[in-house]
Amino acid sequence: MTIPKRLSICICCMSFFNFYNNFANCQLLNVFDEIHNHKAILDEKTIYYLQNNQNLVLVKPAEPIPVKPKTSKKFFKPLHKVVKIKPETIITDIKSNLSSAEKQDIIKYAKLGDYFYDKDDYTNALIEYEKILKIDPKNYKAHYMLGQVLLNLGDYSESIKEFNILIDLRPLSSDSHFMKAQALRLSGDIKEAIPEYNKAIKLNKSNAEAYANLAECYRKLGDYRVAINYCKKAINLDSNLVIPHLILARCYFADRLRDEAVNESKICLKLAPNDPSVYVRYGEILNQLEEYHKALNMLNKALELDFSDAKAHATLAYTYLYLDNLQESLNQAKLAVSCAPNNAQNHSVLAYIYGRNNDYEASVIEYKLALKLDPKNPELHKDLAMALIKNGNKDKAIAELLTTIKLRPKDYESKLALQSLLKENNQAINK
């Protein structure tokens, strides 16, 4: 696995943090004699075409709306100290037959990798962990952290490979199975993730996070009773853990227990007042309750804590849409994409907002980008088909609807749309 291949995936993530990372790197020079800081070159094509998009003809995207983060703690919080690693912990993962110089290099690369990881500089963290693996290919820590980096970059298939290596190295490690489950869940393989969470719990019955994320799997499958049960188990193990309360809020809302959902959201705010994701989740619920101005307050608070939170921008896009402010809705959707260009959902949100603005050509482009990132998503194929119809590309729409039905055979709405298009085509041919 070579660095250039991995860099092609992660260089998009550097744009939003360039200033921040430069400052962090200067601080690091005071700690180490030398630093391996490989700068990534960015341009709009890199961000929007996503490297593997040469066959797709795209228009140049509109310039992102410049917004100055006034109180973003993400950018202006004091720098953390370099991550401290116990020497004995590192050495236990290092081959005994390595030279003293090689062992020292591994320790140095591990410290650098952890430092970059702590600063959300995943590009440089990836490089440092791969340096360790060149010296010691079976180093558990390096594979573990490399999997974490790839997970944060949204490269789920590669992260799963790293966690499979972990399981081969330490099959009785609860953390190994837990991290593989996380990668599987985030990639959309919910049913594959569930047995891995169960293995993690079997190996460590006090793993509250495994119970909480197992609950999230069942929530996504629509089995709210099981999800609520696992959330309560997680809370019993760790009353300060926020995740199960977030999931409970969504389960209660889905079960139309709105007061309970709001109450769980308030508990989350008390437990984690500085966590932007808590405010985003609460904002989502407030949107669904049609309390849009309260949602604005929550989502703006999330952005004060972390202006680079793509989910907050995407949710704000919907809030402004509900308030009939189409221009600000579009601005927020663009910001979501610029913060996390490798996230298919962000492109889908932007595509939807373009559609609401009657810009169907741009909508088609964004749906295609979303599908490059998530090619087996039937909903995206269906949405692209509808955008293509409105843009006058009915033949291509037929192809997308056929793909949708292949992926989701019981999608009757897609079948009706396909029948309608085929009927129109037959009438046109007969004329």
Residue 16 has pLDDT above 70, yes or no: no
Q: Report domain extents, the chain.
A: 1-150, 343-431
Q: Give whole-number Cα distances, 291 to 93, 246, 310, in Å.
A: 52, 19, 21
Lowest mean pLDDT among 7-11, 23-27, 142-146, 388-392: 23-27
Q: pTM for the complete prediction?
A: 0.62
DSSP string, 187-231: HT-HHHHHHHHHHHHHH-TT-HHHHHHHHHHHHHTT-HHHHHHHH
CB of 126 within 8 A of CB of 158? no
How far from the centroid of its chain's Cα atoms is residue 330's Cα? 21
Give the confidence band of 41 by pLDDT, cuts at 50, 70, 90.
very low
How far from the centroid of its chain's Cα atoms is residue 155's Cα? 9
Structure tokens at 412: 């009757």
Residue 128 has pLDDT above 50, yes or no: yes
Percent of the chain with pLDDT over 70: 77
Q: What pLDDT, in 10s, does the model give residues 274-325?
A: 999 899 999 999 998 899 999 999 999 999 999 999 999 999 999 999 999 9
pLDDT value at residue 410 = 86
Residues 6+ apart with CB under 8 A from 232: 244
Find the largest Cα–Cα distance for the chain: 82
Lowest mean pLDDT among 68-82, 210-224, 243-257: 68-82
Q: Give whole-number Cα distances, 394 to 59, 380, 403, in Å.
A: 20, 16, 14
How far from the centroid of its chain's Cα atoms is residue 190's Cα? 15
Report the alpha-carbon distance of residue 157 to residue 374 in Å, rounded: 12
How far from the centroid of its chain's Cα atoms is residue 251's Cα? 21
CATH code of the region 343-431:
1.25.40.10
pLDDT value at residue 55 = 37
Report the alpha-carbon distance of residue 109 to residue 125 in Å, rounded: 9
